[in-house]
Amino acid sequence: MADTHKIYFEPVDIEMEVGEDEKILDAAFRQGIHLMHGCREGQCSACKSYILEGEIQMERYSTFACNDAEVDEGYVLLCRAHAFSDCTIELLNFDEDELLGGVPIQDVRTRVTAIEPMTRDIVSLRLTAIEPATYEFKPGQYSDIFIPGTDEHRSFSMATTQSTPGEVEFLIKKYPGGRFSALLDDGLAVGDELHVNGPYGSFTIKEGHALPVVCIGGGAGMAPILSLLRHLNETESTRPVRFYYGARTAADLFYVDEILALGEGLRDFEFVACLSEPLPEAPSPDGGGMPSGLRPELGNVTDVVARREEALARCEVYLCGPPPMVDAALLFLEQQGVPNDQVFHDSFTSPVTVVTT
């Protein structure tokens, strides 16, 4: 059995044990400690912390998430880190409510109940939980879905909420040759079983907060935002909500009617479709596209937000989708002076595109 060491987290005064063969973030989850995290692949920097004392080594990670100078200074990505002595680690980001009160990680056997095209490259995958019969998660969180017959998995955000605790929907962008997403064309069928593990992620609505909510999404980044909107609607939230969704053309829009219906249940809601290539297109397979009355804004979603939002520093911003979009928006939000603790983001990175040292 691998040697174990003690990890002491400051400034939260929490101690735990970690084996040399497990990553510090995984050891924390195992012991019910929900540290701040995003991708869990060493790519997003959400788990970046500071080593005050002790010996730590990291597995493969992206230098965009933690550069060489930071590593030399003592910064570490806890999702990639193994401890080889007792350590004291300073958490740079943490959510006091989540730390010891997060939803426990579950292993769920599920069955595919529907695979439906939403647009030319986005598919809705619906699963029903078999064992256990319900899956607990917070709106905006994500799961690992295992590639059948392997111990490899991919992360996908839930689009649904706890109003359907045994039925979960994911919205998945297809990549040609993608190990998981290509299965949606001919490798998976209704009735097949999938192993789901989760929930993970900090892209959740914070109870008791009152600031206006600005959601910025692109592509399959619709999924966790739809979950947040469904939750805000179900809980009759009174917070103002604006949702900027970036797509290439009108044919890449989907669920627009449901989004507008959810918005009708909110006190102050606006949906802004942002089209980067406004060429005339055939309607999407779900009969979606631009509904009458909805006027799209032209341009990248970040440019549209920049044109329309004047007081972002007084909003909570939920940002998610393809990594280039998320990176551009994070830079813009920093320039606008939006405090870090008002920005929640999930960057839809792939483990095979990681840029390493």
Ligand X SMILES: Cc1cc2nc3c(=O)[nH]c(=O)nc-3n(C[C@H](O)[C@H](O)[C@H](O)COP(=O)(O)OP(=O)(O)OC[C@H]3O[C@@H](n4cnc5c(N)ncnc54)[C@H](O)[C@@H]3O)c2cc1C
> Which of ligand FES, ligand X, none lies near 37, with the C-beta cut-off 5 to 8 A by kind?
ligand FES
Residue (82 or 154) nearer to ligand X, CB? 154
CB of 288 vs ligand X, minimal distance in Å: 17
Residue (60 or 267) nearer to ligand FES, CB? 60
Task: Provide the token pair at 196.
Answer: 């789901």
Q: Does 45 bind ligand FES (CB under 6 A)?
A: yes
> Which of ligand FES, ligand X, none lies near 45, with the C-beta cut-off 5 to 8 A by kind?
ligand FES
Q: Give, as ranges, the residues between 64 and 103 that touch ligand FES (CB under 6 A).
A: 65, 77, 79
Residue (8 or 64) nearer to ligand X, CB? 64
Q: Does 319 bind ligand FES (CB under 6 A)?
A: no
> Which of ligand X, ligand FES, none lies near 82, with the C-beta cut-off 5 to 8 A by kind?
none
CB of 317 vs ligand X, minimal distance in Å: 17
Whole-number Å distance between alpha carbons of 122 and 118:
5
Q: Does 201 bind ligand FES (CB under 6 A)?
A: no
Radius of gyration from C-alpha coordinates of the chain: 20
Q: What is the binding site for ligand X (CB under 6 A)?
A: 38-39, 142, 154-157, 170-173, 175, 177-181, 201, 220, 223, 322-323, 346, 348-350, 352-353
CB of 11 vs ligand X, minimal distance in Å: 27
CB of 78 vs ligand FES, minimal distance in Å: 6
Q: Does 42 bind ligand FES (CB under 6 A)?
A: yes
> Do 23 and 7 touch, CB atoms closer than 8 A?
no
Whole-number Å distance between alpha carbons of 31 and 99:
11
Whole-number Å distance between alpha carbons of 127 and 160:
11
Mark residues 1-40: x for contact with ligand FES by CB under 6 A, - for none. Answer: ------------------------------------xxxx
Residue (199 or 288) nearer to ligand X, CB? 199
Give residue 182's identity as a one-letter amino acid code.
Answer: A
Q: Kindly report whether the peptide bond that precedes residue 240 is cis, defined as omega within 30 degrees of 0.
A: no
Binds ligand FES by CB under 6 A, chosen from 44, 118, 171, 326: 44
CB of 39 vs ligand X, minimal distance in Å: 4
> Which of ligand X, ligand FES, none lies near 332, with the C-beta cut-off 5 to 8 A by kind?
none
β-strands 316-321, 213-218 pairing: parallel
Q: Does 43 bind ligand FES (CB under 6 A)?
A: yes
In the chain, the DSSP E strands lie at: 4-10, 14-19, 48-53, 56-58, 75-77, 81-83, 87-91, 106-117, 122-131, 142-146, 153-157, 167-173, 193-200, 213-218, 241-247, 269-275, 297-298, 316-321, 343-347
Q: Which of 146, 155, 133, 275 is nearest to 224 (CA)?
A: 155
Which residues, in sequence order, are bridge partners of residue 198?
106
Beta-carbon contacts of residue 151 (< 8 Å; ≥ 6 apart): none
SS3 label, residue 30: helix
SS3 label, residue 102: coil
Q: List contacts with ligand FES (CB under 6 A).
A: 37-40, 42-47, 65, 77, 79
